[in-house]
Amino acid sequence: MTLRVLDVRGRKVAIAEAGQGRPVVYLHGFADVHAVAADFQPFHQALAEKFHLIAPAHPGLNGSDELSDGWSINDIAFHYLEVFDALGLEQFDLIGHCVGGWIAAELAVRHPERIRSLTLIGACGLFVAGQPTADIFMHAQPERGVDYATLRNLLFSGSNSAAALRWYPNGRGDLDEETRRYQMLRFGSFMGFRPPYFYDRALVDRLHRARMPSLVLWGESDHMVPSTHGAAYANGLPVCSGLKIIPGAGHAIPLEFPAPTANECISFLARPS
């Protein structure tokens, strides 16, 4: 993997890249590359064996500058259009996880002509009445100053899962990892907090514009974004392979269940067109 800093109209954007072939852009989530891990994990590495995987860090994370002005989902969409322009990416496959999935969906309804296929993994972004995305900000405040059990439960299959304990341990973790976790929460607070909360009410009625082939992947027990959101995406996207559930998994399936998640993505991307 290489990590480089791209200049996008005066803004620094950190780009992680690996592999060769068809360009596949990956927009990350909370428990993910850039947002806690400095570099690619087994899920990303598996994709990079088949494709040219390009994963920009969201504004403010892992070497990317914060935006100086404007943090609405529209501003973020334009930020990424400028990133893709700077990368010279005309057409590409797009995968987004969690907040990255929301951004991916917003890009797909704006510029369907640039996106060959859309894969959403535990994506927020939709308003589903009575089924809110969980309050990650509340759970990011540790109990007794040191205990992140409820945050781990939100992001993973359970608070004692090995991946959860590796990336969100109790007490002070690795300084760089903690800083990236904070940067991701700050990004989420900027772009996803208002209107409440990690959604765009208008998005569901715009999904019909995303006419590229699409796949929706969800963990069986996602405690962060209810699987009803996955069903709503699968229902609204016009050329969707359906909602695929990873058994036994929580929210951050790329980190916790890398092999089945990568296999689903790869077989979807490699399907005969």
Partner 1 sequence: MASPVQLYCWHFMSYPYLAPDFDETNDTGWVTVPNSLWDRDKARGLYQQYIDQLAYADEIGFDGMVLNEHHQTIYGLGPSPNLVAAALTQKTRNGKIIILGNLLPLHMNPLRVAEEYAMLDNMSDGRIIAGFAPGSGPETFNYNIASAPSREQFWEAVDLIRRAWTQPGPFNYEGKNYPLRYVNPWPQPTQRPHPPIWIPGARSKDTLVQIAKHGYCYFLSSRSHGKETAKSVNQFAKVLEQYGSSYRPNRMGILMSCYVGETDKQAQEEAKDGIWYFLKNCLKGHQRREGRQLTFGPGVPYIPSDEFRDYLKFSDPTVPLLGDTQDWDDLQRSQSIIVGSPDTVYQRFMEILEHAPVGHLLIQFHLGNMKDELTRKSMRLFATEVAPRLREASAKQFGRDFPEIETTGLETVK
Residue 84 or 127 with smaller CB distance to partner 1: 127
- Which 224-263 residues touch partner 1, going by CB under 8 A? none
Applying CB under 8 A, does 41 fall inside the site for partner 1?
no
51 contributes a contact to partner 1 by CB under 8 A: no
| CA-wise closest residue to 138 among 146, 156, 126, 150 | 150
**Residues 130, 145, 247, 272: which binds partner 1 (CB under 8 A)?**
145
Helix spans in the chain (H): 42-48, 73-87, 99-110, 136-139, 149-155, 162-167, 175-192, 203-206, 227-236, 253-256, 258-269
- Pairing between strand 23-27 and 52-56? parallel
In the list 85, 90, 143, 205, the residue contacting partner 1 (rule: CB under 8 A) is 143
Among 10, 69, 88, 129, binds partner 1 (CB under 8 A): 69
Q: Is 137 in the site for partner 1 (CB under 8 A)?
A: yes
Q: Is 26 exposed, middle or buried (0-12, 13-18, 19+ CB in 10 A)?
A: buried
Beta strands 11-18 and 2-8, pairing class? antiparallel
Rule CB under 8 A: say whether 146 interacts with partner 1: yes
Question: Does residue 97 contact residue 249 with C-beta atoms inside 8 Å?
Answer: no
Nearer to partner 1 by Cβ, of 151 and 262: the residue is: 151
Task: Check the CA dihedral 19-21-23-26 and report its sign.
Answer: negative
Note whether 91 binds partner 1 by CB under 8 A: no
75 near partner 1, judged by CB under 8 A: no
Rounded to an integer, what distance in angstroms lies between the CA atom of residue 151 and that of residue 136?
7
Backbone conformation region of residue 259, classed left if phi is above 0, alpha if psi is from -120 to 50, else beta:
alpha
Shortest CB 179 distance to partner 1, Å? 5
Q: What are phi and psi of 110, to 5 degrees?
A: -85, -45
Binding test (CB under 8 A) with partner 1, winner from 196, 205, 209, 267: 196
Q: Which stretch binds partner 1 (CB under 8 A): 3-11, 14-22, 132-140, 241-249?
A: 132-140
- To partner 1, the closest distance from the beta carbon of 129 in angstroms equals 18
Residue in 60, 101, 125, 226 binding partner 1, rule: CB under 8 A: 60
Give the nearest distance from C-beta 241 to partner 1 in angstroms. 35
Identify which of residues 83 and 140 has a Cβ nearer to partner 1 in the complex: 140
**Chain center to CA of 89:** 19
34 binds partner 1 (CB under 8 A): no
Query: Segment contacting partner 1 (CB under 8 A): 84-92, 98-106, 140-148, 256-264?
Result: 140-148
Sign of torsion over alpha carbons 186, 58, 255, 154: positive
Tokens representing residue 172 in the block: 């002070």
Interface ranges with partner 1 (CB under 8 A)? 60, 66, 69, 71, 135-146, 171-172, 175, 178-179, 181-183, 185-187, 189-190, 193-194, 196-197
